Each structure stands twice: as structure tokens, then as C-alpha cells.
Amino acid sequence: MKITIVKDEEAFDALAAWRVIGEILNNPKAVVGLSTGRTTKNLHEIIAGIYKQYPFDVSQVTIFGVDEVTNVPREYAGACYTMLKNELVDALGITEKQFIMPPTTSDDFNAACRTFQKAIETRGGADIQLLGLGENGHLGFNQPGSPFEGETWVTSMDEALEARIRKETNTPSDKELGGLTLGLKNIMQSRKILLLAKGERKADIVKQMLEGPVTTDIPASILQLHPNCEFIFDEEAAGKLKQ
């Protein structure tokens, strides 16, 4: 386990961005797993900015997202596909063949899960997987209670996120929303993982994740067992760690 603590949000975003760029420079055929949300948006923009100024070879790189919202239009601004495409994929000139994402709508989500997982496996699996840390310890859409042995599946989302998405997409209450996500087993199969957390609001869960037991109550605690996981925090997120 490697823990890196940086001074502030600016340093946090820059370090994480260079970790991704370094992986691509060292491995031109890298399979890169990304996450969306407040934690990763800035670092995506930094990668895009560096690429614009100093282009590097991404012609053989594969990018995928760890999860996706289900039963919303793919063009919805909050869809993970759209966020990754707008924040980074288009800026790097990544083609659709290089960009693996599950669908937002499907008549058979079980089949969609298998197809998504198989597509990543066919490329050799994730060389590096970036993960944001949920305030309840979730990874992707793997909420507390998710099985450690679980593979790609469709889960429920937390109530606050579901309410926001319903409002933004005008989704009626009788239409089920969820999250298609790589399972914890799939995430742990990544050759390298970067777990990212910044801000004071993450301090409690960072402490529980690293100093508490490995438990499905805190899905991210399983990362204590990964042989090549780096935890990157700013000083606020790391503020309650003993050391």
C-alpha cells in the first residue's frame, strides 16, 4: 500500500493527471479505467491540456469508464459516457473503438454487463484504474454491502443522486434508475489502482477505509489488500489519519 498526501487540490489534480500520463508514456497500449465526478473532472482537464500542448501517442490506448447510469439518454450531461467524452476522450482524439463503455439503455442489462466486462478482458484487463472514493465508501456504484466477489452488475444508487438524475432527466418514478458497474472483484483485478480523495468531507471515510477492518460495509476497504494500489489525498482528506 502506498499513500501519497499532497498540499492542496491543485497539487492533487496535477499529480493524478501525471500518474495517468506516465502510464500511457510507459505503455503505449495501456488500458486505462477512469471515473467521473467532482474528484476526477479537473485531472481530466489537466491531461487534456498537457496533451494539447505536448501531444503524446494515444493511438493504441484503450479507455473505459468504471460505471454508467442506466435508463437515461446517453446524451444526458450526467451520463458517464458523455462526461468522459467531453472532459477527456475527444480532447485526446480517442476513437469509438478505443473507448469502451456500457450502454445507458438496454433490453437485457445482464447481457450488457457481460459484454462490457468481456470487452475489457479482451484488451488484456485494466493496466491502471482510477477510482473516486464515495462518502460512504462506495467504489463505482458498488454501495455498502456489495459482495467482494461480485462481478459487473447493475446496482441501485443512493437516494440523493437518484433524485437529482430524475429531476434533470424528467424520469418518472415508475422507471427504475440504477448504475451498471464493474464489480469489486473486477476492480481488484486491475494491475494498478489509484484511489483518489480530496476535501475535508472525505476525511472520515478515508480513515475508516485505511485504519478500519476490511469489510463490505466500506467497499473501498478491500483496496487495503491490493498489491499495487496508491492512495492519493490532499491534506484535508488525510486530516484524520493517525500517521
Burial of 71 (0-12, 13-18, 19+ CB in 10 A): middle
DSSP assigned state of 68:
E
Residue pointed to by grid coordinates 501519497? 4
List domains and CATH numbers for the chain.
Answer: 2-234 (3.40.50.1360)
Residue pointed to by grid coordinates 478482458? 121
CA–CA dist 214, 239 (Å, integer): 21
20 SS3 class = helix
Instruction: Say whether pLDDT at 243 is over 80.
Output: no
β-strand partners of 62: 31
Element (DSSP H or E) covering residue 12? helix 9-26
- What is the tens place of the pLDDT at every residue in 77-116? 999 999 999 999 999 999 999 999 999 999 999 999 999 9
- What is the tens place of the pLDDT at every residue in 176-220? 899 999 999 999 999 999 999 999 999 999 999 999 999 999 999
Strand order in the sheet with 178-181: 67-70, 178-181, 153-155
Work out the number of other CB atoms within 10 angstroms of the CB of residue 133.
25
Instruction: Say whether pLDDT at 159 is over 90.
Output: no
Quote the cell numbers at residue 97.
473503438
Quote the cell numbers at residue 54.
505536448
199: left (phi over 0), alpha (psi -120 to 50) or beta: left
The per-residue pLDDT for 228 is 98
For residues 215-237, average pLDDT:
98
The per-residue pLDDT for 176 is 87
- Portion of the chain with pLDDT greater than 90, in percent: 88
For residues 63-68, average pLDDT:
97
Instruction: Say whether pLDDT at 172 is over 90.
Output: no
